[in-house]
A and B are shown apart, each in its own frame.
Chain A
Amino acid sequence: MSIEVRNLRKAFGNFVALDNVSLDVPGGELVALLGPSGSGKTTLLRIIAGLEPADQGVIRFHGEDATDQPVRERQVGFVFQHYALFRHMSVFENIAFGLRVRPRAVRPSNEEIKDTVMGLLRLVQLEALGQRRPSELSGGQRQRVALARALAVKPKVLLLDEPFGALDAKVRKELRRWLRRLHEEVHVTSVFVTHDQEEALEVSDRVVIMNEGRVEQSGTPEEVYEHPATPFVYGFLGDVNLFHGRIDRGRVKVGASELEAPEWAEARDQAGVAYVRTYDVELTPSSSGISSIEAVVRHVRAFGPVVRLELDRTEDGSSIEAHIARAQYDRLGLTKGQRVFVSPTSVRVFARPSDPGSARSA
């Protein structure tokens, strides 16, 4: 069951939560809506569910217009950020709820309900806890009950709002993998909202990155990570260094250094920002040409296979972060206060927002 969102707009008073958002979720995929808080991702999810009306725009499930369909007829499964389990019901009754409220004609028998619920309890690995109250469960267990409850009604699409937001780091990681496996098992079209880029990149088939009510970019995790379409996406996915400078004839002048930017061959003295990922740098004890930037080591965090260095650029004192392999770090023998030259190995240049003709891709 595919989801199509076309030109959605939603404002709360003066605040525009969604500004002309379009989105395609192919059937059976697991899609992540990724963005900082206030970017409109939860609003978009709630509008898809029908919990919130859109001001403008269309939503289609499998090609059929669902824009004005009431929530209870949309057949969506929704997992709330704080689970919203029925606190006075047992885990079993929570999961059975969607089946028990059906009109008599289509309501399964008690036996069938029991079978379905037991099957779901097995699926979420909580067989033994059916008679517990939600208050007697841990966060991760509640999360799985919420998921089982949503799946009980055989939804056409499954929507999850920050499904791991309220859990501690370790449980989060386990549950993440488990959700991925579960999705491969039940294969229902799923959309989940998250502000955690690692989560989005690791779990989903496709990532939709949102910012200020707009879709910045969508694509597979590899696409959006390797080829960010906008400065925002670049900054949001992974750690990145920014170098402000002037773009001129395929080069960016950053202080006394010059970085290659072949895609800007026609640019003439234009303000620009060079984005360099923290691991796309090479450090050398002496200058390796015009593209290397002089800096001083300020702080070293040398644990694990990757050594993280904080450097101060000599020219203007701005901070540069560099992640290098342990072996390279050992070879260089860097210590605090030492002079070093930073050569970006991969640069992505965007024009400054004030200048016309913003992003051109490499």
Chain B
Amino acid sequence: MAATAERKVVRWTLIGIALVFLALVLLLPLALVFSQAFAKGLPAYWEAIKEPDALSAAKLTLLVASIAVPANLVFGVAAAWCISKFEFWGKNVLITLIDLPFAVSPVISGMIFVLLFGAQGWFGGWLFEQDFKIIFAVPGIVLATTFVTAPFVARELIPLMQEQGSEEEEAAIVLGASGWQTFLRVTLPNIKWGLLYGLILCNARAMGEFGAVSVVSGHIRGETNTLPLHVEILYNEYAFAASFAVASVLTLLALVTLALKTLVEWQQRRAVAERVGPDSTPERIAA
């Protein structure tokens, strides 16, 4: 008891520091976004949001997310599957490569695509001949976003699938299930919460990505502007209220994502508890 009593001071100091930090770094800016957004009243807010450029930016953001997220769903599941269920040469290299988008700055990620597909890039001349634009167009934005968000699903699934091992899959195959049946009936149900969690994080980043997208976008209003880019443009033009209004939409999307994430985490914990729970009470068998 004495030991814990002494630590009480330490504990409250630590909690206090954490709370002050949270308030300063997270809550205050969040409050500011909304207060600035409504600084000129509700009609101005509404005006800023339904303005065509803002709407097109929102549409583009949703379009990009709706391509990048499913692409990374397929990639993430495939990568996690082969890493956790098979032994092969170069496995560690693959794991490191998956982390690469997290390790490099998003601006550099954007630069890579400019160097590959830009007018002066490796494939630039060929693309020009085909009259197909990647850089300063939607395909570039999709590519950059997909690249930057690639690790989320795979990172979430690899430890989960490694922990679960492959015995259940082996059992399914011995019982005559095909690979696809095994995946749908055995693997997928076991990883669904982890997968959903990874997808939510992936989606949050896909909608919020600025750096990489900024490099490849070209900032063409109504064409290649995503929501984060639109916020920046408005801000640079001193349209503060409008800028914050659009930012508040993006923030709302983030908050919804956060709520979903919490819900999934809760579900995940429940699934784990269900799995581990009554283990410790073995019954006698009636032989």
List the interface of chain A (C-beta within 8 A of B).
49-51, 71-72, 74-78, 80, 82, 84-88, 97-98, 101-102, 125, 133, 135-141, 144, 149-150, 152-153, 168, 171, 174-175, 177-178
B237 within 8 A of partner (CB): no
Q: Check if B177 sits within 8 Å of A125, measured CB to CB.
A: no
The 4 closest A-B CB pairs, nearest first, are A98-B175, A174-B287, A84-B167, A138-B282
Known pairs A86-B171, A175-B285, A177-B287; A101 contacts B278 (CB<8 A): no
Q: B residues 144-160 with Cβ under 8 Å of A?
A: none
Tell me if B175 and A141 are in contact (CB < 8 A).
no
Interchain residue pairs with CB less than 8 A apart (23): A49-B174, A71-B173, A74-B174, A80-B170, A84-B171, A97-B172, A97-B177, A98-B176, A101-B175, A101-B177, A101-B178, A101-B181, A125-B285, A133-B274, A135-B274, A135-B275, A136-B278, A138-B285, A141-B283, A141-B285, A144-B285, A153-B176, A168-B282
Residues on B with beta carbons closer than 8 Å to the beta carbon of A138: 281-285
For the complex, what is the distance from the CA of A102 to the CA of B181, rounded to whole Å?
Answer: 10
A71 nearest CB neighbor, chain B only: B173
Instruction: Decide if A78 touches B190 in the complex (CB within 8 Å).
Output: no
The distance from the CB of A362 to the nearest CB of chain B, in whole angstroms, is: 39
Nearest B-chain residue to A141, judged by Cβ: B285
Closest to A174 in B: B287
A72-B174, A101-B185 given; name 15 further pairs at CB < 8 Å: A49-B174, A51-B173, A51-B174, A76-B174, A78-B170, A78-B171, A84-B170, A85-B168, A86-B172, A87-B168, A140-B285, A141-B285, A150-B175, A168-B282, A178-B287
CA distance A138 to B281 in the complex (A): 7
- From residue A166, how far is it (CB to closest CB) to chain B in Å? 11
Nearest CB in chain A: distance from B173 CB, A:
5
Decide if B185 touches A175 in the complex (CB within 8 Å): no
Residues of the B chain whose Cβ atoms lie less than 8 Å from the Cβ of A174 = 285, 287
Is the beta-carbon distance between B279 and A84 smaller than 8 angstroms?
Answer: no
User: Contacts A72-B178, A84-B167, A87-B275 hold; do A101 and B172 have CB atoms under 8 A apart?
Assistant: yes
**Contact pick for B176, options A102, A133, A171, CB 8 Å:** A102
**Once the chains bind, are A153 and B175 in contact (CB under 8 Å)?**
yes
Q: Which residue on A lies nearest to B278, using beta carbons? A: A136
A144 to B176, CA, bound (A): 20
Q: Mark B173-193, 1 if CB is under 8 A from A, else 0.
A: 111111001000110011000
Near A by CB (< 8 A), chain B positions 35-84 give none
Bound Cα distance A171, B178 (Å) = 35
CB pair B287–A175 under 8 Å, yes or no, is yes
